[in-house]
Structure 1
Amino acid sequence: MTLSPVSLAGRRIFVVEDEYFLADDIGKAFRALGAEIAGPAGHLDDALKILHDGSVLDAAVLDVNIRSEMIFPIARELKLRGVPFLFTTGYDKITLGPEFQDVPLLEKPIDLPAMAQKLAGLIAEPGV
């Protein structure tokens, strides 16, 4: 199966990731596909500031564990707003609990092209 070229052009993607180099790689990959990056945020407080700054977010990539804090308060607010997102983690899906079982989970190390493809699909088909 060949993947069609992914476009995130004009989309604002919220990135919450505490591993600096991974956050930088995600940002570069998404910018190369035409996206604008909100963040990346490496602390929960920074992520909350971005979340509440009044700007539009088209989708998000959330590391499950940010400096030993769980990302779930951010995830809950995105869900309430109808903003599609996916989780990245070194943990397995059981750590998400029933509340987020429907959210895509990408295990680290991350395949960035696959992540971009998945995110573009979430944006294109909200609620699926």
Structure 2
Amino acid sequence: MATAGPLTGRRILVLEDEYIIAVEMESWLSEAGAAVIGPFARADEALAALADGKAAVDAGVLDINLGRGGTAYPVAARMDALGVPYVFATGNNLEADDPSFRGRPRLEKPVSARSLIRMVSELVS
């Protein structure tokens, strides 16, 4: 008999523009029992999912820099408005460059499965 993972029943949005990293995070979260929303490579895709009432989420994992000048900040702002916790998973060693998001939970890339699951579990507990 399989035991439930630490994220069983939780819906986690993933916003990550690097395909390999996105697929890896999706796999780790799924193995921990989460239903993954996404992964999305662009902020507008994630915002559309958040706007869809069927896609209610419990937490998010957001890469700050999404390439071509895109950022996760609009998604983070929407999640703040909805009261949904999130963590920035980023290779950017500096604090978030938008002062509104400084001090938010963050994981430094490369992210390990253990640290991702631990952080997301803390967010939803």
TM-score relative to the length of structure 2: 0.89
Q: Percent identity at matched positions?
A: 36
- The Cα offsets for residues 48-99 of structure 1, whole Å up to 9 and x where unpaired, read as 2111111210000000011231111110110111101000111124234331
Deviant stretches of 4+, over 3 Å: none
CA distance in 2, matches of 1:113, 1:8: 13
Query: Any gaps of 5 or more consecutive residues in structure 2?
Result: none
1:24 alignment counterpart: 23
CA distance in 2, matches of 1:100, 1:89: 13
Aligned residue runs from structure 1 range 3-42, under 5 A: 7-42=6-41
1:82 alignment counterpart: 83
1:3 alignment counterpart: none
2:109 alignment counterpart: 108
Higher mean alpha-carbon deviation, 9-18 vs 99-108, is at 99-108
Q: Report the number of matched residues.
A: 120
2:65 alignment counterpart: 65
TM-score relative to the length of structure 1: 0.87
Query: Any gaps of 5 or more consecutive residues in structure 1?
Result: 1-5
